[in-house]
Amino acid sequence: MHSSFYQQLVEIDGALFEGFLVLFFALLLARLAPLPREMQPLIWFSHLAKQLAAKVNRPERAPSQQATAGFLAMLLLVFPFWAIITFLLELAAFPWFFEFLVLYLCLTDAGFSQVADEIAKALKREDNASAKKLLQPWIVRDTDNLSEVGLTKATIEKLATAPIYGTASTIFFFAIAGAPMVLAVRMIKQLELSWPPIQPKYQHFCRSVHVISTALLAIPAWLWSLSIAIQGGPKALALLFRTSKNHPALRGYVMSVSLVANILRIELGGPQKFSGQRIDVAKIVYGPQPHQEMIAPAVKLASRACAIWFSFITFLPIIWAGLRWLQTL
């Protein structure tokens, strides 16, 4: 009976359990030992995207021409790198190692909770300059003129939204189609972060990237919001079924920000600046404006939500092995 059980695990479910192990250790390492920001390949990819956009994006042209240029730029940047890496994954003698590496590098924002703690400490010392320096590499909006409240809001909003295209997206798409799909989605999302559609000069240029990214991340965004709402009780869960109105470029992220604001009973959102240009964004008001002491509860909220996802990929293979064991009885 024991030999039959182990034979089924190895021969039938070996690839499944290997995938669970690869995913688990990639998430764990990204959380505990994130790669420094300046060494992350996706950040280099973002710099390349910005340089290409500076050459081909012409805001004075017709919207259709800008959209076409953005679509072609997306293909030029995503397809060659994705095809080469996918080809290497297929040829590798140890594909599990390269899958692990791809997943780890796609989880670039998993270490932001540590940065958020440092920002909270800087704000507590009333050292806004250090807080701005810490936050700037992680967001696309201007931070130069942000007050303590603005820095706190931006930090909490990043904590609420980054796992959508990090932890949630990685687990979801790896389960569906493996590491190549995770990489493709993450590269498209990185382009959206590099060409923020909320910024007027990228409004039309980023249209294709934004539509594709929003469609791909719709289910991970809802599932991530669910993992936050579970911690807020029935009232928070009810927000999952309400339609939130805000800037069109923020579609898909308003729900998670609203849930965090609701659970912490604070105000989030509000106008943002991009390259000195003010963009009106509706406020999400469930309480007073937040101060630095609210960052710690936001970190705990996001960490508990991530723990739910970790628990899922930990207990699912155990349950599966238990079902296999029952079959052999």
pLDDT in tens, the chain (329 residues): 455 656 655 555 556 777 888 999 999 999 888 888 888 999 999 999 999 999 999 988 999 999 999 999 999 999 999 999 998 888 877 888 999 999 999 998 888 999 999 999 999 998 999 999 999 999 888 888 889 999 999 999 999 999 999 999 999 999 898 899 999 999 999 999 999 988 889 999 999 999 999 999 999 999 999 999 999 888 888 888 876 666 565 666 788 999 999 999 999 988 888 888 888 888 888 999 999 999 999 999 999 999 999 888 888 777 766 666 666 66
Cβ count within 10 A of residue 131: 26
User: How many Å is the Cα radius of gyration of the chain?
Assistant: 21
**Distance between CA atoms of residues 75 and 65, nearest Å:** 16
Residue-range domain boundaries for the chain = 2-231+291-328
Q: Using alpha carbons, select from 93, 105, 77, 108 the residue that is nearest to residue 179.
A: 105
**pTM reported for the whole predicted model:** 0.89
Q: What angle do CA 68, 70, 72 make, to 5 degrees?
A: 70
Q: How do 277-279 and 272-274 pair as beta strands?
A: antiparallel
Side-chain-side CA neighbours of 115 within 13 Å: the count stands at: 29
Q: What are phi and psi of 39, to 5 degrees?
A: -100, 0
Q: Using alpha carbons, select from 167, 157, 159 the residue that is nearest to residue 246.
A: 157
Amino acid at 299: V
Q: Using alpha carbons, select from 253, 241, 232, 223 the residue that is nearest to residue 298.
A: 232
